[in-house]
Structures are given as C-alpha cells and as structure tokens.
Structure 1
Amino acid sequence: MLIDHIGQIILKNGIVLNAPYSVFTDKEFAILLSAVNICHIIGRIAFPIFCFLLAEGFLHTHNIKRYMLNLGAFAIVSEPVYDLGFRGKLISSEAQNVLFTLLLGLIVLAVIEKSRNNIWVIVICTSDGALLARGCMLDGGYYGILLVVVFYILHDRKVIKCIAAICIMFICGLEFSPKGILDPYFLTSACSLIPIFLYNGKRGINMKYFFYIFYPAHLLVLFVITSLAVIPRL
C-alpha cells in the first residue's frame, strides 16, 4: 500500500502531473511513468489482504460495535488527508478512502451473520453493498465487498476460498481490469493469496491501532513531501 501511494501521490501527482515538460527528457519522463505503474502494480497485493483481515477480524472480534466505531472514526479522520493526497484539495466527492469500503464490508457481514447465513440475505446484502460501494465511489468499490464476503463465507475452505477470490480478481473490472491471465495487475493481486492461504489462524502481534493510525499518517506525510518538493523550472 505504501509503495502504491508513493507512486500515486509523490511520483504521479507531485512530479509527473506538475513538472514542466522541459525538466525531463522523453526517456526520463517515460521512466517516471513506468515507475508509477510499477508502484501501482506492487500495491495490488495489499487490498485483498485487507479484505481478508477484515473478515478474520469480524469472526474473532468480541465487540462488533466497537470494531465498526473504530473503522468509522478513522475513515472520517482519514478522508480529508486522502482527498489532499489524491485530489489536491481538502474536500472532494470524487472518491472515498478504503476505510469506508472496509466499514461497509463489515456492515454487510454483520447483516449476513444476523440472518444466520441465509443464502438470499447473502445474495441481496452482497449485491446491495457492492452497488452502494460503486455508487459512493469508495476506494476498492464492489471488488472489495465481494472479496470480504467470500473470505467470510468460505472461511474454513482454503482452496475454494482462494479459487473464488481469484475469479473475483479476474472478472472485476474496477482497478483490477482483466486483460488476460498474464496481466501484471491480476498476477500481483493473486500473489496476495499466498500468505492468505498459509495463514495458520493464530493471532499475531497486537498492532491494531498502529495500522489504524498508519493509514492517515502515511497519507499526510506523503502529501507534505509532495507539497515541499520543488521541481526546478527552466
């Protein structure tokens, strides 16, 4: 995620979109664009892992309301920083940060569990959640909602869970546009399933609030770096 955001905020928004044409040669500019794409491709590993961790967190939490409250609070706090980093302004309706996507996914899982995993509730809630995510332009959109539900419903079936996740990655045309089985965006997304498959079900070091804080903090740092960077004008 950090690598992806370095590419998008510093390299793309800070340099590529603002640098005068005379600063770089065509070759140097092409290298910059390639670096942005490479960062974006590498960053595709992160999002499926976030969705998996959300589903695991839902299954193991002792207080779902607090879980939702934490996600919602940090989503609200992160939004202005997200807008600054990606849109260059404090308030923007063009897209909403990924914590809102995860919060919506958590709400969908809560409704599904309340129905005791009724198949029709699963279908309706997943569809509604996916449409809402897309309509509100949440980062990750319907792709994220589908992954969250799959990781929850197929929690104990590792092989089928990974196969279903791969199908979602390949089919969904949001940020993971399927251009073939060898498309680098698809391949790096699929690589996220390796640690997911190998997960032993045990809790690691408790760093919950570190990651909550890290999300808005790293966006703010990257925005400040971009703002302070001066491209020499010739």
Structure 2
Amino acid sequence: MTSTSLKLIALILMLLDHIGQFIPGAPLWLHWVGRISAPVFMFCMAWGFYYTHDRQKYLLRMYFFGVGMAMIALICNNIVADPYAMMTNNIFVTLLLVAVLVWLIELRKTDKPKGNRYLALFAGYQVLTTILCILIAQVVPLMGMMSFVGAITGNLIFNEGSFIFVFLGVLIYFNRTDKKRLILSYGLFCLAFLGLEWSLDPRPTALLYNNYQWMMIASLPLMLSYNGEKGRGLKYLFYVFYPLHIVVLYFIGNLYF
C-alpha cells in the first residue's frame, strides 16, 4: 500500500473511534478498531518526516495546527456545561514531539557533543514546562487547561498519549526500514502495554471492555504492507479533517443526545 492508502484507512478508523468517543450509546467495537489508527498515522509521519525537504517548515506546521487544535478544545470544553465527553484529542502535538526527538537523536549521531547538549536542554525544558502546565492550570481553572498549555509549550507529559506514545513514534521511526526489527520492536511494545493493562486490572474481560489499547498490535500488518510509495498525497486532508470531524462529533454528542 502507498502512504496515502494507509492514511485514508487510518482516517476512517479514527473517525469510527471518535464516533465511539463522542456519541452516547455507540458500540464498543468502534474503539477496538480505532486502536489501529494512531500507530499507522505515526508510521506514515515517520516516512513523511524522513522524506520532507524542509524539516523546519514541517515542525512549524505541526506546531501551529497543534496550538490551533488545543485552542478549539479549550473553547469547546468550556462552553458546553457538563459535556458527555471532553475534547482531549490533539495528535498534532504528539507527532510534533516525535519529530523533535527524532531530529535530536539524529543530530547526536552526526555531532555527539552538540546532540547531547540539545538533548539535555530538551530534558530541562520538559521539567520546566511540566511545572508550568500544573501551575497555570491551578491559577486558571478552565477544563483542559493543562493540555492547552502543554500544546503551546510542547510538553511530553500533557499531550495525547503522553510520553508513552511519543516514545512509540520514535520507536517506529527508527525501525521503519527493517520489517523484522519493526515486528520485534512494535510487538514487544504492544506486549509490554498488554502487561501494563493486565497489571492494572487482571480480569480477562477488562482487556476487552476497559483496557483495550493493546489492540493496537493490529496496526502492524498495515505497516508491513507499505510499498515505499507516496501515492496521491492528499497533503492537507488530514490537517483539515481532523479538527473538523472532532468538533462536529463533539457538538452532536453533547447537544443532541
């Protein structure tokens, strides 16, 4: 499959997942198939970031879309009283942080002292921004304030999926070219996640009805089907469709059910 085909499949699965998130009474299986979406987007982002001719422009675009999505979520979560489901979705920030860490790690490979210095600065910055997110959320008691500040500052903790999914994106990037390594690394990650979810609730039914993120292992066959071709591109489809469909579903679920 081309990267465009993979993105379209991931987009459809994401839509189903968000229907399950925002529409009351939606069947649980929508979330099951939705677990496939984010890793596939990360895989496509990994190849896109590798091939892009202007990484700075790529990072800035991802940053501004992330801040824009955070602003939309902050407004929506505070104009609807007692929402059925809060708008916590902002994969732009997660993908931005994946790209930043990839850039820093690759910099370290070519210039170790400079790379180490930048990674240390990044770590220190993350500590400061984490404290800032918590403090501002206490001073400005708006729903979703920490995620909003996290988007503006590019924080590893307060983003969709937190540092765990940022790590997953980095893992996918550095194993994307070798299918055996991708199978092993991604498989071990999903197995570790399954173990974590099992430890939180050891009931077998919980892995189907409560803690089902481990089902993202089903993304692997799609990643392995990638043929190295870009396809038609549809560059801005995801950037537009992502916030648009979330806002529509949010208001349908919270105002009409």
Are the equivalent residues in 2 in contact too, given 1:178–1:186 (CA < 8 A)?
no
Question: Which position in structure 1 is the counterpart of 2:242?
Answer: 215
Question: Which position in structure 2 is the counterpart of 1:161?
Answer: 182
Are the equivalent residues in 1 in contact too, given 2:179–2:224 (CA < 8 A)?
yes
Please state how far the C-alpha of 1:192 moved relative to its aligned partner.
0.6
Are 2:191 and 1:191 equivalent residues in the alignment? no
Q: Deviations over 1:133-156 (max 9, x none)?
A: 886321112222222212222232
SS in 2 for 1:192: helix
SS in 2 for 1:89: helix
Q: Map 1:1-234 onto structure 2 (within 5 A).
A: 1-11=14-24, 32=25, 35=27, 37-83=28-74, 88-89=77-78, 97-116=90-109, 128=123, 136-172=157-193, 177-178=197-198, 183-184=207-208, 185=212, 188-229=215-256, 231=257
Query: 2: distance between equivalents of 1:189 and 1:118?
Result: 35
Question: Which position in structure 2 is the counterpart of 1:19?
Answer: none
Query: 2: distance between equivalents of 1:117 and 1:149?
Result: 18
Give the % identical residues.
Answer: 27
Residues 99 and 78 of structure 1, relative CA distance in 2, 3 Å threshold: same
Could you tell me which amino acid in structure 1 is paired with residue 64 of structure 2? A
Q: Which runs of 5+ in 1 are unaligned?
A: 12-31
Greater RCO between the two (CA within 8 Å, min separation 6)?
2
Could you tell me which amino acid in structure 1 is paired with residue 166 of structure 2? I
Are the equivalent residues in 1 in contact too, given 2:15–2:245 (CA < 8 A)?
yes
Query: 1: distance between equivalents of 2:219 and 2:78?
Result: 32
Q: Which moved more, 1:54-63 or 1:181-190?
A: 181-190
Q: Deviations over 1:117-168 (max 9, x none)?
A: 789969x95x959997886321112222222212222232112112211211
Residues 38 and 204 of structure 1, relative CA distance in 2, 3 Å threshold: same
Question: Which position in structure 1 is the counterpart of 2:148?
Answer: none
Could you tell me which amino acid in structure 1 is paired with residue 58 of structure 2? Y
Query: 1: distance between equivalents of 2:191 and 2:155?
Result: 18
- Structure 1 length as normaliser, TM-score? 0.72
Are the equivalent residues in 2 in contact too, given 1:52–1:147 (CA < 8 A)?
no
Are the equivalent residues in 2 in contact too, given 1:170–1:177 (CA < 8 A)?
no
Are the equivalent residues in 2 in contact too, given 1:81–1:219 (CA < 8 A)?
no
- Structure 2 length as normaliser, TM-score? 0.66
Question: How many residues are aligned here?
Answer: 202
Are the equivalent residues in 1 in contact too, given 2:156–2:163 (CA < 8 A)?
no
Q: Deviations over 1:159-215 (max 9, x none)?
A: 2112211211222379x8356899453563111110101101111111121101111
Are the equivalent residues in 2 in contact too, given 1:54–1:102 (CA < 8 A)?
yes
Could you tell me which amino acid in structure 1 is paired with residue 224 of structure 2? F
Q: Which runs of 5+ in 2 are unaligned?
A: 1-13, 81-86, 131-153
Please state how far the C-alpha of 1:114 moved relative to its aligned partner.
1.4
Query: 2: distance between equivalents of 1:201 and 1:62?
Result: 17
